[in-house]
Amino acid sequence: MDLTPTARVVELLPKVRAFLEEHAVPLEPDVARLGFSACVARLKEKRELVKRLGLFTPHVHAHDGGVGLTFLEHARLSEALGWSFVGHYLFNCQAPDAGNMELLSRWGSPAQKATFLAPLVRGESRSCFSMTEPDRAGSNPTWLDTTATREGDSYVINGRKWFTTGADGAAFAIVMAVTNPDAPPHLRASQIIVPTDTPGFTLVRNVSVMGHAGSDWDSHSELSYEHVRVPVENRIGDEGAGFLLAQERLGPGRIQHAMRWIGIAERSFDLLCKRAVSRELSPGKPLGTRQMVQDMIAESRAEIDAARLMVLSTAWKIDRDGSHAAREQIAAVKFFAAGVLQRVVDRAIQAHGALGLTDDLPLAMFYRAERAARVYDGPDEVHKAMLAKQILKRYGLVVGRDG
């Protein structure tokens, strides 16, 4: 296993870090204080600068208009971008658009690529992924209530979704809906593109998360689909292939999230160490002289390094063997890296005292936005159970879904 950074990565990472320090970090206080939508114009200006650097949409294949980094290369870039909570947005590889681009790049028809993918890659539009429902367990994506009924050359969609990230201002949603209710659980749903100006599509509200309803891309919305009619040509892939496509999308997406979390953890660690050196408890007695703070620093360093190696080795395996072959590693990375992220951010907040809770630093924003890391894309408990069952199977114990 060779995890050595490629020449391309070695060249681009210093440029990315310098760009973030100069252009992204200074924007963070206003994004935190005024809200994302109030800063969209300035963020757009910065995105144009990224385009001039030739680093816009780094994860998409060059034949679809992206930079064409390998998965492992993008994993390293994603860590660097995680230093700022607007980093991925500025480089046009933010969730959920990143996953939707990959989905359309691999599975979309030529017409879907021209109409929906191309504007995403160019940064001219945004999208959302509409799967989670308020009345069904998000941990069981085969059990959906939203339906898409075939009527001639159209699907008619009815249902409710929520925690649809970035729906506020999105041009279209990719909706998971049941098209084959009598099929086996993993073959019931399909993924269908729904332009958000389609009659019957309603953004009910931006769901307030820890007191923050958000706006524009930085939001999670509740959506209503009432007799939403779209052409059959808007279906991605085969009918009933929605679950398979979701797994193909979410597996790599979890790794991209995890490397972003490493970047967030490194930024938080940097703030923790600077605080330990600069904050005095009394004259000549900085915070870092206390063993409890030293323990925070040592534990954080070890956990971040371990999580990074797990993520990079998994990215290498995805590049070599595909996401299905790496499913056990993906599951382990998802819950381990999410836990590391939460612990490191929490330690940094603790070391800063009341200051850590304010928006004068990015720590409160990190915590508010990323506590959900242990929930979205499958809660920790589901990934732990899946991994344990796969391991036990090799020892001769087969555990059923509800076992």
pLDDT > 80? residue 138: no
pLDDT > 90? residue 93: yes
Give CA–CA dist 356/271, Å, rounded.
10
Confidence grade of residue 20 (pLDDT, cut at 50, 70, 90): very high
Confidence grade of residue 403 (pLDDT, cut at 50, 70, 90): low
pLDDT > 60? residue 300: yes
Pairing state of beta strands 172-178 and 127-130? parallel
In terms of residues, how long is the chain? 403
| Helices 97-107, 242-278: crossing angle, 10 deg rounding | 150
Domains of the chain from N-terminus onward? 7-122 (1.10.540.10), 127-236 (2.40.110.10), 244-394 (1.20.140.10)
Confidence grade of residue 401 (pLDDT, cut at 50, 70, 90): low
Q: 157-209 pLDDT, tens per residue?
A: 999 999 999 999 999 999 999 999 999 989 999 999 999 999 999 999 999 99
Which helix (H) or strand (E) segment is 97 a member of? helix 97-107
**The whole model's pTM is what?**
0.92
Give CA–CA dist 240/188, Å, rounded.
5
Give CA–CA dist 132/289, Å, rounded.
47
